[in-house]
A and B are shown apart, each in its own frame.
Chain A
Amino acid sequence: MTGYVLRRVLLGVAQVLLVMAAVFFLTEALPGDAAVTIAGDNPDPAIIELLREQLGLDEPAWQRLGGWLLGALHGDFGHSLVGPRAVVDIIGSAMGPTLLLAGLTLALLVPLSVVLGMLGAHREGGRIDRLITSGTLGLYSAPEFAMGVLVVTVFAVQLGWFPPTAVGSAGLLANPAVLVLPVFVLLLRPICSLSRLVRAGMIDAQRAEYVRHVRRLGLAPARVRFAHALPNAIAPAVQQLARTTDWLIGGVIVIEAIFVVPGLGTTLVEAVSARDLPVVQGLAVVLAGTTVLVNLAADIAARALAPASEVGR
């Protein structure tokens, strides 16, 4: 296990470095640079040249990437090109709202999916199972932005039950009501995929030889379900949960725009648009690092849950 973890960590570091290089050169490949976007609709060539010089954009790309990487190794992620703030500061202030949204979503997602999946698996093909299946399939096919707009229109603008956006100074935690709709929309799709996985896993596990065996030993049905079937059943779901986390990052960008949450998604879109390379790079590290870590944790957890099934090799 230790060897496996070490291998995976090294691989993760390599993956993050690769992502950073890819992101850097992809952003470089976009037309224009920060000097051009700062000049905006007043593209005086002399001003653009001056800005390029001041921002060090006249140095070759590999040199700028190298310089940035060297800084990053010392924990210095540099400064934004379009403003005076440090990258760490920008990402730090954007991290809170996104973590809150993603964290709340995940915290609700796991129990809800397990409950729904077990309910469905309890009587395969029964009325509850059919209801859950048709419901989850239907919701899964609705994209976030459509759901977001719909939910705001109905529950916020028409009915006035919840605030339509999260604008304002109070911060998200000061006014929990603003979190209801965004988290609700973020939950919808992953709940569908996860609960279906849990259901399938449970159905397979209940048919498995070892479960039948403990049943024959006369253990209580509930005990059989929770202590013996469930751990094996949720191993694939845990790995799917990790993929969900990656996906959450994408979903969060859309949700942040609709609900006006100043998080990582908004910051990323703006930084790419402004060709603010240091900020884009910093975000790439955060997002790639998160993805690598979450997947690693999921694979380790899956191995621990179901050592026999040889997952994550």
Chain B
Amino acid sequence: MHESGPARGLSRRGFLGLTAAGSVAVLAGCAGRAGVAAVGPPRPGGRLRAAFSGGGAAEVLDPHETDLYIEIARAKALYEKLADYGSDMSPQPRLAERWEASQDLLAWRITLRQAAFHDGRPVRAGDVLASYARIVEPSSSRRAKASLSMIDLPGSRAIDDRTVEFRLKRPYAEFPNALATLGAYIIPEGTTDFGRPVGSGPFRFVSFAPGRNFVAARNPDYWEGTPHLDELEIVVTNDEAARVNALLGGQVEYAHDLAPTSARTHENTGRVRVHRLPLSNFHGLVMKTDRPPFDRPELRQAMFHLVNRDELVRSVLQGSGQLCNDVYGKGYRYYADALPQRTQDLDRARALIKQAGAEGLTIDLDTSGTSTGLKEAALAISDQARQAGLNLNVRLGNKDTYWSDIAKNGVMASYRSGAMPLESHISQRLLTTSTTNNTKWQRPEFDALYQEAQSTADDARREQLYFQMQDQLYREGGFLWWGVSDWIVASAPNVGGIDDRAPANTVDWARYDKVWLA
């Protein structure tokens, strides 16, 4: 059911951090257009129907409960956050017009844009404070709680209707990341019922049947301009084949999350337009660094050298993706591009296995069918490890409880992650206090580097510190990120305005206010 990682967002200024990725995306975009004529110019009108896999009969429209891609798509149609992520995962202002930090990075002044909720009330500082208070209340288990809990809310205040001053519990140079975090939507103060949701987003609520469909109509007063579409309908279609069939049969104009095989089958028929959104889904392994056998750094390094990343991208991602270099966040802001790309080196891997005293050892590799590619990657890596004399015994776990199981148990597991800034990846997974520290990477000196990076206002210095952290992880970390796959979306040939360079969950992904039916 949980298809989305703590994945987050991208924008049209996508060229900034996209090195190789940019050109790949452009090429993919061209390939997608090979079989389909160009879309006509933007024109107003029509209803776009989009098919997503859904969350079942228990779905709600409470934007603070968003977790799945479909929930995010619905939430961003109705609501907005103060910020959202650009293509290099840097925060872009949305409901916030601008932000400025105090010298010590402990106080942040946010100036709100002139925007209005669908009922005509202006978006005020009080709405922002109330929304955040609701997310972090003690009884809340909402996803954004972790990112916003560093705000000292009692100490924060509304200076006037369009200015909020946040006090933080510790210096946080990248505080705008928290404003862009998944689920940090601004709702009108005092909202308790989401039967007829009221937000400030580009579409207004029309109707909702949980597990079936959602309809919204254009918001003519949207601050960024009136959407082209009259209406947006999001329908629930859990089966990938059914999403493709619905698109081919003209029942929907947009199908989210296709398998590479479906994309290849249909992209040159002229019946659909395929969009490959780059840098969307990172694939890797987690090795627990606190217990045998992976408490030996040599054995982790052996894994780094025995994996054939090219083969994995070819077979598991079926070519819809690119290589990674064991460090998270390729193409994102602060990513350590300078680290040399690793390739398979079996001799070196064998030597390292010997050093680690792990020759002939059998190690359990946990995986499951909870997300595409986890199982296939585990099997392929187990084959590759055999060539270096390491036996990885692939164990298939329960798909519903997999993430929680591997957090606690085992020594090595298949892993995936959606898009998020490097800062979020580190703070959620790699600090001593991190709540989902699956590699058990708990090192005070590493924590100190992160704290320093968040305590300096100097961008160049922060870049250096990020490089040091990544260099450490590259040499002996517990994550092995071997690839990042595209997120594949398909649309009817007459749909224009879909951004081909926005990773899943970024500002320009599923951005239906920019889409038109030609």
Contacts and interface: CB of A to CB of B under 8 A. Distances in A.
Interface of A: 30-32, 36-48, 50-51, 54, 80, 82-85, 90, 93-94, 149, 152, 156-157, 160, 163-165, 167-169, 257-260, 262, 266-267, 270-271, 273-276, 279
Contacts of B126: none
9 contacts: A48-B404, A80-B57, A83-B57, A163-B249, A164-B245, A167-B51, A257-B239, A262-B236, A267-B57
B212 A169 contact: yes
A240 to B, nearest CB: 31
A94 B59 CA distance: 14
Interface in B49-65: 49, 51, 56-60
A123 to B, nearest CB: 42
Contacts of A45: 407, 435
B212 A262 contact: yes
Contacts of A54: 139, 141
Given A32-B401, A43-B436, A83 B60 contact: yes
B27 interface: no
Given A40-B1, A257-B239, A258-B239, A165 B56 contact: no
A157 B211 contact: no
Contacts of B59: 83
A93 B209 contact: yes
A164 B215 contact: no
A89 B408 CA distance: 36
Nearest to A79: B58
B464 interface: no
B141 A168 contact: no
A43 B407 contact: yes
B210 interface: yes
Contacts, number: 160
A90 B58 contact: yes
Contacts of B252: 167
Given A32-B398, A50-B139, A157-B248, A37 B239 contact: no
Contact of A157 (B209, B212, B237, B245): B245
A42 B211 contact: no
Contacts of B211: 262, 266-267, 270
A45 B438 CA distance: 12
B146 interface: yes
A255 to B, nearest CB: 11
Nearest to A81: B58
B403 A274 contact: no
Interface size class of B (residues with CB under 8 A): 35 or more
Interface string B144-187: 01100000000000000000000000000000000000000000
Nearest to A257: B239
A32 B399 CA distance: 10
B245 A165 contact: yes
Determine which residue in A41, A44, A168, A275 has the highest number of CB atoms from chain B within 10 A of its CB, and name it. A41
A32 B405 CA distance: 9
B243 to A, nearest CB: 9
Contact of B249 (A164, A267, A275): A164
A270 B57 contact: yes
Contacts of B398: 30-32
Contacts of B145: 47
Q: Max chain B CB contacts within 10 Å: which of A83, A167, A275?
A: A167
The 5 closest A-B pairs by CB, nearest first: A83-B58, A32-B401, A40-B2, A270-B56, A164-B245
A85 B215 contact: no
Interface string B213-246: 1010000000000000000010111110110011
A273 B58 contact: no
A90 B209 CA distance: 11
Contacts of B146: 44
Given A38-B141, A41-B6, A270-B56, A32 B215 contact: no
Given A32-B401, A50-B139, A54-B139, A164 B57 contact: no
A259 B242 contact: yes
Given A37-B400, A80-B57, A85-B57, A168 B2 contact: no
Contacts of B405: 31-32
B32 to A, nearest CB: 20
B251 interface: yes
B57 A46 contact: no
Interface of B: 1-2, 4-6, 49, 51, 56-60, 67, 139, 141, 143, 145-146, 207, 209-213, 215, 233, 235-239, 241-242, 245-246, 248-249, 251-252, 398, 400-401, 403-405, 407, 435-436
Contacts of B207: 169
Nearest to A83: B58
Contacts of B239: 257-258, 260
A82 to B, nearest CB: 4
Nearest to A168: B235
Contact of A165 (B1, B57, B210, B242): B242
A156 B249 contact: yes
B404 A39 contact: yes
A43 B67 CA distance: 13
Contact of A267 (B56, B242, B246, B248): B56
B213 to A, nearest CB: 5
Nearest to B141: A47
A83 B401 contact: no
A281 to B, nearest CB: 14
Given A32-B398, A42-B6, A93-B57, A167 B246 contact: yes
Nearest to A51: B141
Contacts of A258: 239, 241-242
B242 A260 contact: yes
Nearest to A162: B249
Nearest to B237: A260
A261 B233 CA distance: 17
A90 B57 contact: yes
B99 to A, nearest CB: 26
A90 B212 CA distance: 12
Contacts of A48: 404
A11 to B, nearest CB: 32
Contacts of B238: 257, 260, 266
B1 A164 contact: no
Nearest to A43: B404
A233 B453 CA distance: 84
A136 B8 CA distance: 53
B60 A279 contact: no
A276 B400 CA distance: 12
A46 B139 CA distance: 11
A44 B436 contact: yes
Nearest to B145: A47
B140 to A, nearest CB: 8
B1 A37 contact: yes
A37 B56 CA distance: 13
A262 B59 CA distance: 13
Contacts of B249: 156-157, 160, 163-165
A37 B2 contact: yes
Given A36-B404, A276-B58, 17 more contacts: A37-B2, A41-B403, A47-B141, A83-B59, A85-B210, A164-B248, A167-B49, A167-B236, A168-B251, A257-B242, A259-B242, A260-B236, A260-B246, A266-B238, A267-B57, A270-B211, A274-B400
A100 to B, nearest CB: 14
Nearest to A40: B2
Nearest to A94: B57
